[in-house]
Amino acid sequence: MEQFELFQKFVLVSFTIAFFWKLIRHMLSFVNMEKEPVRVLITGAAGQIGYAIVPMIARGVMLGPDQPVILHMLDIEPAAEALNGVKMELIDAAFPLLKGVVATTDAVEACKEVNIAVMVGGFPRKEGMERKDVMSKNVSIYKAQASALEKHAAPDCKVLVVANPANTNALILKEFAPSIPEKNITCLTRLDHNRALGQISERLKVQVSDVSNVIIWGNHSSTQYPDVNHAKVTTSSGEKPVRELVADDQWLNTEFISTVQQRGAAIIKARKLSSALSAASAACDHINNWVLGTPKGTWVSMGVYSDGSYGIERGLIYSFPVTCEKGEWSIVQGLKINEFSRAKMDATAKELIEEKALAYSCLG
């Protein structure tokens, strides 16, 4: 009798072990299951920024080291051969996360089912051109691309406009893609944000990763306001305000601001070409934080649709400090704004209102 009971126990234990082992293997199969690829559109993909950003995306810089991607690259007909060359290089690089490449001059084909759209392509201002001429060209470009996104992109597509004038191009895109939620259309001011972090890092001789919570208010132009009043530095003795550590309000209120505002022009003067590597990196940072979230206690700068926060006119695409969680951004509320900051924030808002009026006159 005892032997039979022992045998029963042995069988029960064996079945229990087998059941749990099967369950564990089943669970591990889910853990190891590859994610569905995310389709990422890059317009102007044969250009400098496009050439810099596509390997970053394919390597996981934008969406993480375990997220497969399919790249959709769009450019104009005269750039078709160069675009095909970029596709060839992507194939030759054998990126494990890259599950497909679409290279086309057809906006409809490029926009089909994309989850993320990075709008790099635009018409640059050339010598002798008036602002309205440039705006008119970009209104035409963004009207056509907005229509293609509206009809063919995934319903939850997230859009980042990089091409200048970025804020107003984003506004035009929103106008002609009304089914895309206003919270899903943004513009790039992360490059300016990163430039501000870099300047503070250089000034204090600290790691840039230890500097946080700078703010870029307003337009991605020379009227932008880089604000360090709420910025902090992580030190061995805890977090310290940037103003306290720099201890030079004159520099922070003048040279620091103008350096960040004019950094793009300084790079053009040095390289004879506009920012590409840093712009591509900033675009990846923007999407990465938007999709995967911002670290607790920190914020980043994004050009987003104004809801009237901080007295900024509703309906402008204006750069605010934001936090991101679960694929959604939220404007940081309750920050104290002094008179100096108020004047700077209003000045850049005024420029955006003027740009909006100019863009709408081109539509008319």
> Which domains are assigned to the chain?
38-187 (3.40.50.720), 190-362 (3.90.110.10)
- Output 255 or 12, whichever has higher pLDDT: 255
Q: Which two tokens stand for residue 9?
A: 């126990």
- Output 27 or 204, whichever has higher pLDDT: 204
Q: Enumerate the active-site residues.
A: 220
| Chain centre distance of CA 80 | 26
Residue with tokens 């009026």: 357
21-69: per-residue pLDDT in tens? 666 665 544 454 679 999 999 999 999 999 999 999 999 999 999 999 9
Strands across the sheet with 38-43, in order? 98-104, 69-74, 38-43, 116-119, 158-161, 185-187, 300-305, 317-325, 328-331
Helices 277-292 and 190-204 pack at an angle, to 10 degrees, of: 110
Binding residue positions for substrate: 125, 131, 164, 195
249-295: per-residue pLDDT in tens? 999 999 999 999 999 999 999 999 889 999 999 999 999 999 999 99
Query: Strand pairing partners for 329?
Result: 324
This prediction has a pTM of 0.90
Tell me which amino acid residue 183 is: K
Specify the pLDDT at position 21: 60
Binding residue positions for NAD(+): 44-50, 75, 138, 162-164
Q: Are 120 and 50 in contact (CB under 8 A)?
A: yes
Q: How far apart are CA 95 and CA 89, in angstroms?
A: 10
Is residue 12's pLDDT more than 80? no
Instruction: Place 18 in a pLDDT band, splitting at 50, 70 and 90.
Output: low
What is the chain's mean pLDDT, rounded? Answer: 92
Interval 301-325 mean pLDDT: 98
Binding residue positions: 44-50, 75, 125, 131, 138, 162-164, 195
94-151: per-residue pLDDT in tens? 999 999 999 999 999 999 999 999 999 988 767 676 767 888 888 889 999 999 999 9
